[in-house]
Amino acid sequence: MAGIKNLILQGEGVSLDFKKTITNNEKIAKSLVAFANNKGGKLLIGVADDGSIKGVKSEEEEKYMILKSAHQFCKPALEPSFEEVYVDNKLVLVANIPESDTKPHYALDDQKKWWAYIRIDDKSVLASRIILDVLKQDQKNNGVMISYSDNEKKLLEFLSENDKITLKELSKLLRCSYRKAQKILVNLILTNVIKSHTTEKEEFFTAVK
C-alpha cells in the first residue's frame, strides 16, 4: 500500500496524526475534533510518533475506542470511517475524519469540560475565541480564498517590521472593527501565513517563518 507508506513518510501534519495505540478517549477526541474543525484528516493507529509501524493487535478494540471517543467525547458527535491497511505485514487502522459542516466541535477533557480545538501544523491546538467565532460564521465558506487586499498587506508589512500584533493593535492599524480584524486574522491563520499564540494575558499573532 504505497499511499499509506508515503503518508507515513511525510510525518504528522495538519491532516495526519499517528497513534501507536488508543489508550485515552479524551486525547483521541481532541484529535478528532481538531480535524473536523479544520479541513479533515486521518488518524493512523499502529504507527508510532516517529513513523515506525507497530501494527494494531485488535482492530475491533481500537475501532470501538475511536467510535466511543467520536460519539461520547465529541459534541456534536462525529462519524469517522475506517480502512484497514497492511503495511510491511502489519495492520494499520486508518480512521478518516472529514471536514465537518456543523462546526465548531468540542472535545470533553478529563475535567469534564468541553473545549474546541483546531489543527495547526502537527498539533491539536485549543481554539481561541477568535477562531471559534470564525468556525461558527464561516463553516460554509469552503476553502479560504486568499486574495491579499490592502488590509492583509498592511498586516504582513507590520509583521515584517515587528515581532507580533494583537487584535486590538490590528484594528487600530487598519482603522476597522474588531470583527473585521478578526476575520482577516483567521483567514491568514487557516492558510498558515500567520500563527496564533495564546498566553494567560493575551492572544497575539506572528508571521509564519
Q: How confident is the model at residue 9 (pLDDT cuts 50, 70, 90)?
A: very high
Helix (H) or strand (E) holding 17: strand 16-19
Q: Can you list the positions of beta strands (E) in the chain? A: 16-19, 41-45, 74-75, 81-87, 90-97, 106-108, 114-120, 123-126, 165-166, 194-198, 203-207
* CA nearest neighbour of 65 among 45, 83, 92, 47: 45
Tally of domains within the chain: 2
21 with 120, same domain? Answer: yes
Taking a C-beta distance cutoff of 8 angstroms, is the pair 122, 11 a contact? yes
> What are the cell numbers at 141?
465558506
In tens, the pLDDT along 117-174 reads: 998 888 898 888 777 877 876 655 555 555 678 899 999 999 999 999 999 999 999 9
Structural domain span for residue 29: 2-126
CA distance 27 to 109: 8
Q: Is the pLDDT of residue 112 over 70?
A: yes
138 with 88, same domain? Answer: no
32 with 118, same domain? Answer: yes
Contacts of 3 (CB under 8 A, 6+ apart): none
pTM for this structure?
Answer: 0.74
Residues in a beta bridge with 19? 45
- What is the domain-level CATH number for residue 185? 1.10.10.10
Q: Which of 108, 126, 144 delimits the end of a domain?
A: 126
Average pLDDT for 177-196: 85
16 with 74, same domain? Answer: yes
Q: Which of 106, 126, 146 delimits the end of a domain?
A: 126
- How distant is the alpha carbon of residue 130 from its chain centre? 15
In tens, the pLDDT along 59-107 reads: 999 999 999 999 999 999 999 999 999 999 999 999 999 999 999 999 9
Q: Which of 82, 107, 126 delimits the end of a domain?
A: 126
Instruction: List the single range of 102-116, 123-137, 174-188 with lowest mean pLDDT.
Output: 123-137
| pLDDT value at residue 140 | 54
| pLDDT value at residue 125 | 87
- What is the domain-level CATH number for residue 80? 3.30.950.30
How many other CB atoms are there within 10 angstroms of residue 207's CB atom?
Answer: 17
| pLDDT value at residue 197 | 83
Percentage of the chain beyond pLDDT 90 is: 67
Biggest CA-to-CA distance, the chain:
60
| pLDDT value at residue 129 | 79
